[in-house]
Chains A and B, each alone.
Chain A
């Protein structure tokens, strides 16, 4: 019980830490490409072809990977004016409903996004300027929605496992 109770949050936290390093690097790279492009334009009268494409795809990577981090760390923007005053029982109920809805909608979106990404992969489409295979940026959405769904399932499974064991009479270490 201890293993599941601690392993799932620890694993999710590791995923979030890895992704936050990834998005940090993506942001620094995007800034550097942009500045190099500006310097190149004024100093050498030359710009990097495809720099805009690359920067935009880095931003898409930041947005969707960051969404997974925000989901794992419960940092999504929300209007918590009323929910702050909910009773603990109602709050648990709403949190449960939110987790189920997130899994359903993000699960559906991951199916939709993977289908679209495979379609783009088979077509062999590339971006106009940077000639990046388009399935790569499109797969960011699919990977992120899948990770959000898996994170939800892992949490649900861990909670169900712990509550199942505590109902069976063993001590609850939560």
Chain B
């Protein structure tokens, strides 16, 4: 296993989450008329951020656990 897929997934969703949350916090409330008055960018951005961070945390935990073991040297981080 060269690259744990949880790193890119976690990274991508964390970045997306931060972007959406910021956009949600800064955008005018008028655009949320179609989403029933809910600031979905803010809330869903937070959901994505939590999901992304959880993925990163799992990836980090798996990485730390696998580290002490001597595996074949071909693997890269």
B is bound to A? no
- Which A residues fall within an 8 A CB radius of B? none
- Which B residues fall within an 8 A CB radius of A? none
